[in-house]
Structure 1
């Protein structure tokens, strides 16, 4: 099968499409013929040598496609079913991928739509679970990106009032997601207090823009704040840093389809690239101009 891989660290030019042995599912897993695979910022961090040290490395933790092989004990899907989910071995940007956790694709959605969801929806759900969001007022710092927009909508679905920071160009988008938009930058505390004079009940930092002290103050203490983007700041200010190795919210996959079909969850904008153009997708993502999600498609 063809797959995206790099054998040395560096810029997008180190990415290659290579032939690798076909993978096979283990117990409880399924293999899919990949139709679309999500691209995340962690991909170019890995490629640059900022994460894992081993070489070579494949890429991709989320994909959508058609089931073509079942592992032992799998009874909830059949060969030919459309599913999306997570590739535990990080090799989803390929013609074939093994999914360790998966869910059916709603009939009205295409593969690129749902390939954009697993990482963002799981991260957002995990953070909201850790915060215990169930109503109240939530401040989301970084509300227009893929994780932030998922967090806004999932919090609204839980009955929360949401205030979200975003650049002025994205305020209408954040408002359409169900949040009250405010601008980034100096004076954040005062802008939040204009909308919520008593502060907020909880705060989620997705942007990692150095505002944890303000979030702690607005939420009434570090125990009411979670960040998915500022590890050093979390240590300094006593805030919870949410990471996947502390327990993933894999239940999020099973529930997102119903929210989409009910109109309670709006899909992010998607920019697609063919698998062979993975380097171009990395260049586009690293330029920092993406609203929504980058997705590789496989013919």
Structure 2
């Protein structure tokens, strides 16, 4: 099989296309023929490591997310999985077997059925885009002190959600899931083009923070403050967020796009309003929270409530397997939309 690996940390140039034997699944594993691989920031950050030149043994196959067809099962895995279309998440977390390959090995706990969409068959682009961004977004929308633990129609009715960076992958996922769950959604963006994407995803109010006073505009729309903030850049926005919160609200941070190791939290404001500052990393989520997210995403797929492409505010960028380095570079440079590799 053709597969992409890296044997040392470094820039995109350490990725190489090679041939390996098709692997056999061990206990609790399935072999998936990968039809799409989703590229996330984790992929290039893991490849870069803490600096170039550190050996990686055995050579790592990158790619946490993907979609494809189950073609073999290991001991303890029901044969009913054979031939099913699936989406895969966290394939390479603390494992060699990522999705940037024609075939990969996946733990049974890290894949789910991918429903077909009529005559078009399974939407592999969508399946490969789910994993890390959508599970992260699900967690961000379900850690409020008053819940809900699950998403779906009506579960966020009466709640107001502010998504920072609504044109990003997680921001887009949060908007789509919040829309499915009947929240009122505000989002901030940095350009009119990104605003159009956020609106396509389902945001009710789009605020260009380079042209508009965000604090004044949010307070105009929601005088009582927002219930949930899904935050991509806490270093820059913590002070702003603190002034936009309703009593009992939560600010959920899933990234540190602003750089730096520390965030200044407005203490007195947070105390008076009894608000929560929550941090999320998908790889270390509680197993129960992750399982709820996977179940809810399955329901959203069946409802046709989530999607990818321009119509859903998430443009797609396709690369062949031999251009895995360029695909990772595109994500590292901040490509707007979802980068996918087609083995």
Q: TM-score, normalised by structure 1?
A: 0.88
Q: Please say if 1:241 is aligned against 2:265.
A: no
Report the more deviating stretch, 78-87 or 257-266. Answer: 257-266
- The equivalent residue for 1:169 is 193
Q: Please say if 1:210 is aligned against 2:236.
A: yes
Q: Is the 8 A contact 2:71 2:82 kept in 1?
A: yes
Aligned equivalent of 2:182, options 139, 159, 167: 159
Q: Is the 8 A contact 1:141 1:204 kept in 2?
A: yes
TM-fit CA distance, 1:220: 4.3
Superposition map of 1:1-299 within 5 A = 1-50=1-50, 55=56, 56-75=59-78, 77-86=80-89, 87=91, 88=93, 89=95, 91-100=98-107, 101-108=110-117, 109-131=122-144, 132=147, 134-135=156-157, 136-167=159-190, 168-179=192-203, 180-185=205-210, 187-208=213-234, 210-220=236-246, 224-230=250-256, 236-237=264-265, 239-244=277-282, 245-247=284-286, 249-267=290-308, 268-288=314-334, 290-298=335-343
TM-fit CA distance, 1:160: 1.3
TM-fit CA distance, 1:264: 2.2
TM-fit CA distance, 1:283: 2.3
TM-fit CA distance, 1:210: 1.2
Measure, in 1, the Cα distance between the counterparts of 2:166 and 2:244. 17
SS in structure 1 at match of 2:166: coil
Measure, in 2, the Cα distance between the counterparts of 1:235 and 1:258. 36
Measure, in 2, the Cα distance between the counterparts of 1:203 and 1:295. 28
Q: Is the 8 A contact 1:212 1:233 kept in 2?
A: no
Unaligned stretches of 5+ residues in structure 2: 149-155, 266-275, 309-313
Measure, in 2, the Cα distance between the counterparts of 1:20 and 1:220. 55
Q: Is the 8 A contact 2:238 2:264 kept in 1?
A: no
Q: Is the 8 A contact 2:7 2:55 kept in 1?
A: no
- The equivalent residue for 2:269 is none
Compute the RMSD of aligned alpha carbons.
Answer: 2.6
Measure, in 2, the Cα distance between the counterparts of 1:40 and 1:208. 20
Q: Sort the Cα spacing of 1:71 and 1:296 in 2 relative to 1 into closer, same or farther, 3 A.
A: same
Q: Sort the Cα spacing of 1:222 and 1:216 in 2 relative to 1 into closer, same or farther, 3 A.
A: farther
Measure, in 2, the Cα distance between the counterparts of 1:20 and 1:221. 56
TM-fit CA distance, 1:292: 1.8
Measure, in 2, the Cα distance between the counterparts of 1:123 and 1:117. 10
- The equivalent residue for 2:151 is none
TM-fit CA distance, 1:176: 2.4
TM-fit CA distance, 1:76: 7.5
Q: Sort the Cα spacing of 1:287 and 1:62 in 2 relative to 1 into closer, same or farther, 3 A.
A: same
Question: Structure 1 runs of 4+ off > 4 angstroms?
Answer: 51-54, 220-223, 231-235
Measure, in 2, the Cα distance between the counterparts of 1:192 and 1:233. 28
